Amino acid sequence: DHSMHNMTDMQSMMQNKMQPAEFFNLPKNQPLQALPLVKNLSQESGEFKAELNPMLTEVALTEQVKPTFWLYNGMMLPVIDVNLGDKIDITVNNQLTEPTTIHWHGLSVPPSQDGNPHDPILSQQTGRYQFDITSDMSGSHWFHPHTHLLTGKQVAQGLAGLFIVRDPNDPLQHLPEQNLFFSDLKLDETGQIAPNDMLDLMNGREGQFALINGQWQPEVTLSGTERWRLWNGNSARYLNFDFPEDSVEVFLVATDGGLIEKPIKLSSLLLTPGERAEIVISSKDLKPFNLISKAYDRDKMGPVAKEEDIILASVRVVDGKKIDLPSNLAKLTALGEPVVTRQLIYTEEMMPMRFLINGKSHDMNRIDFTAKKGDVELWEVTNNSHMDHNFHLHGPQFQVVEFERNGVITKPDYLLYKDTINIRPGETLRILTQQNHLGIRMYHCHVLEHEDAGMMGQLEVL
Ligand code: C2O
Ligand code: CU
Tell me, using a 6 A CB cutoff, whether residue 450 lines ligand 1. Answer: no
Q: What is the pLDDT of residue 351?
A: 81
Percent of the chain with pLDDT over 90: 92
How far does the centroid of ligand 1 lie from the alpha carbon of residue 362, in Å? 14
- What are the tens digits of pLDDT across the range 329-344? 999 999 999 999 999 9
Percent of the chain with pLDDT over 70: 96
Tell me, using a 6 A CB cutoff, whether residue 237 lines ligand 1. Answer: no
Could you tell me which residues are beta bridge partners of residue 266?
A: 250
Q: What is the pLDDT of residue 1?
A: 39
Q: What is the pLDDT of residue 302?
A: 85
Please tell me the pTM assigned to this model: 0.96
Question: What span, in angstroms and rounded, lies between the C-alpha atoms of 75 and 9?
Answer: 41
For residues 399 and 334, the answer to whether their CB atoms sit within 8 Å is yes
Q: Ligand 1: which atom is nearest the Cα of residue 142? A: 1
Which one of the ligands is nearest to 455 CA?
Answer: 2
Res. 37 pLDDT band, cuts 50 70 90: very high
Which one of the ligands is nearest to 155 CA?
Answer: 1
How far does the centroid of ligand 1 lie from the alpha carbon of residue 420, in Å? 9
Residue 244 has pLDDT above 80, yes or no: yes
Tell me, using a 6 A CB cutoff, whether residue 227 lines ligand 1. Answer: no
Among the residue ranges 13-22, 45-54, 250-259, the one predicted with the least confidence is 13-22
Residues with CB under 5 A from ligand 2 (ion): 389, 445, 447, 450
**Arithmetic mean of pLDDT, 33-62:** 98
Q: Ligand 1: which atom is nearest the Cα of residue 443? A: 2
- What are the tens digits of pLDDT across the range 153-198? 999 999 999 999 999 999 999 999 999 999 999 999 999 999 999 9
How far does the centroid of ligand 2 lie from the alpha carbon of residue 74, in Å? 30
Res. 98 pLDDT band, cuts 50 70 90: very high
**Arithmetic mean of pLDDT, 449-455:** 96
**Arithmetic mean of pLDDT, 408-412:** 98
Tell the residue nearest (CA) to atom 1 of ligand 1: 105
Tell the residue nearest (CA) to atom 3 of ligand 1: 105
Q: Ligand 1: which atom is nearest the Cα of residue 442? A: 2
Which one of the ligands is nearest to 144 CA?
Answer: 1
Q: What is the pLDDT of residue 49?
A: 98
**Arithmetic mean of pLDDT, 302-306:** 86
Res. 3 pLDDT band, cuts 50 70 90: very low
Tell me, using a 6 A CB cutoff, whether residue 362 lines ligand 1. Answer: no
Question: What span, in angstroms and rounded, lies between the C-alpha atoms of 286 and 248?
Answer: 10
User: What domains lie within the chain, and their CATH numbers?
Assistant: 31-166 (2.60.40.420), 177-318 (2.60.40.420), 340-461 (2.60.40.420)
How far does the centroid of ligand 1 lie from the alpha carbon of residue 103, in Å? 7
Which one of the ligands is nearest to 356 CA?
Answer: 2
- What are the tens digits of pLDDT across the range 190-216? 999 999 999 999 999 999 999 999 999
How far does the centroid of ligand 1 lie from the alpha carbon of residue 88, in Å? 19
Q: What is the pLDDT of residue 183?
A: 98
**Arithmetic mean of pLDDT, 100-115:** 98
For residues 188 and 156, the answer to whether their CB atoms sit within 8 Å is no
How far does the centroid of ligand 2 lie from the alpha carbon of residue 378, in Å? 21
How far does the centroid of ligand 1 lie from the alpha carbon of residue 4, in Å? 41
Q: Is 168 exposed, middle or buried (0-12, 13-18, 19+ CB in 10 A)?
A: exposed
Tell me, using a 6 A CB cutoff, whether residue 444 lines ligand 1. Answer: yes
Q: What is the rounded average pLDDT for all residues in the chain?
A: 95
Question: What span, in angstroms and rounded, lies between the C-alpha atoms of 164 and 229?
Answer: 9
Question: What span, in angstroms and rounded, lies between the C-alpha atoms of 412 and 417?
Answer: 10
How far does the centroid of ligand 1 lie from the alpha carbon of residue 322, in Å? 37
- CB-CB neighbours of 268 under 10 Å: 12
How far does the centroid of ligand 2 lie from the alpha carbon of residue 88, in Å? 32
Residue 2 has pLDDT above 50, yes or no: no
Which one of the ligands is nearest to 203 CA?
Answer: 2
ipTM of the complex: 0.98
Tell me, using a 6 A CB cutoff, whether residue 394 lines ligand 1. Answer: yes
Tell me, using a 6 A CB cutoff, whether residue 430 lines ligand 1. Answer: no
